[in-house]
Structure 1
Amino acid sequence: MKLISGTITNLENAISYSTAKQKVISNNIANIDTPNYKAQDVRFNKVLTNEMSKFNAIKTNEKHIDFGSASGGHRIVTKNNTNYQHNGNNVDIDQEMTEMAKNQIQYNALIDRLSSKYNSLKTVIKGGR
């Protein structure tokens, strides 16, 4: 029996994805004037996560990483198929700023939901007080 539902794990994975996306967007914006810089994006790879959960591995050392705890199912990809500037750079500042705002809203919602889950657990542990 699981003591805590998978919701908290899913929220933690979503927060990890959102954090990675924020880092990538910030890196893209920081390199807007770098010649030949290619913008990056974070893609959520649900299929990989599902397949990794099917592996049955035996840990021989406590420092080994569990197959079940995949990296949240996201990966960073480089957008090589466009050029927006004459110097070979393909960062679109308007798109990056829009993505940053959307990501910030999503991150805040995830943090609020996770906080709510922990507060519910705290209430249950205290016996409803």
Structure 2
Amino acid sequence: MENKNRRMWRQVLPSLANIVAGWASFAAFSDGMDCAFVKAKPMEFPMSNLEQHLSVYSQAMNFRTQRHQVLASNIANADTPHYKARDFSFESAMQNAMAGRGSDSIAMATTSGGHIRGGGSGGQAALQYRTETQSAVDGNTVDMDVERAQITDNALQYQIVSQFISEKIKGMRSALASTSG
């Protein structure tokens, strides 16, 4: 099972791994899983980074949800004359979110060093018009084959990120249970 998860991780989520800042901290968060991929040795995972790491996965799920809505809208408007298919680059959206360049990023003020820093990583992805793959007489640019493939891939990516978060939380619960007993 572990080798299957490693293979799935390498094949399906390389874009998420490529944009996470700090390979060593990512390797620590992944419990040493496939450290050869990130070229780092497993290290102790500080609890202070827990929120930071989970926010990456949470943001990935938010963007996957947004993308699903956009793709569903494209499919719903497949017969609408002059409708232009929309989409956004998940990779670019995650890079912008991790760099604090979200389209509505507003930094929250903090009055104490102990406050959690907010803002900068949320927001909507920048929608773009999809390149036309087939010409339609009515000016509609929705290609149902492309939309079905994209929405299926996006749903699979969402499920994998969700499962990855679930496994990490389960691992943390297990670690906490073993240290408290």
TM-score range, shorter-chain basis?
Answer: 0.7 to 0.9
Deviation string, structure 1 residues 13-72 (Cα, Å, up to 9, x no partner): 11111111111111100000001101010223324641549x865258xxxx9333332x
- Quick check: 1:41 aligned with 2:87? yes
5 Å-filtered alignment, 1:1-129, equals: 2=48, 4=50, 6-43=52-89, 44-45=92-93, 46-47=95-96, 49-52=98-101, 58=109, 66-71=118-123, 74-79=125-130, 82=132, 84-127=135-178
**Aligned mates of 1:108, 1:34 — CA distance in 2:** 30
**Aligned mates of 1:68, 1:9 — CA distance in 2:** 12
Change (3 A) 1:104 1:51: closer
Between Structure 1 and Structure 2, the one with more helix by share is 2
Secondary structure at the aligned position of 2:151 is classed as helix
Change (3 A) 1:113 1:59: same
Deviation string, structure 1 residues 49-96 (Cα, Å, up to 9, x no partner): 41549x865258xxxx9333332x7322233x6362111100011111
**Aligned mates of 2:143, 2:55 — CA distance in 1:** 33
**Aligned mates of 2:65, 2:177 — CA distance in 1:** 32
Q: Structure 1-normalised TM-score? A: 0.77
Secondary structure at the aligned position of 1:86 is classed as coil
Between Structure 1 and Structure 2, the one with more strand by share is 1
Structure 2 alignment gaps of length 5 or more: 1-45, 112-116
**Aligned mates of 2:119, 2:58 — CA distance in 1:** 17
8 Å contact 2:64–2:158 — kept in the other structure?
A: yes
**Aligned mates of 1:48, 1:119 — CA distance in 2:** 26
Deviation string, structure 1 residues 72-124 (Cα, Å, up to 9, x no partner): x7322233x63621111000111111111111211111111000011112112
**Aligned mates of 1:30, 1:56 — CA distance in 2:** 36
Change (3 A) 1:56 1:111: closer
How many correspondences in the alignment?
Answer: 122
Identity across aligned pairs (percent)? 23
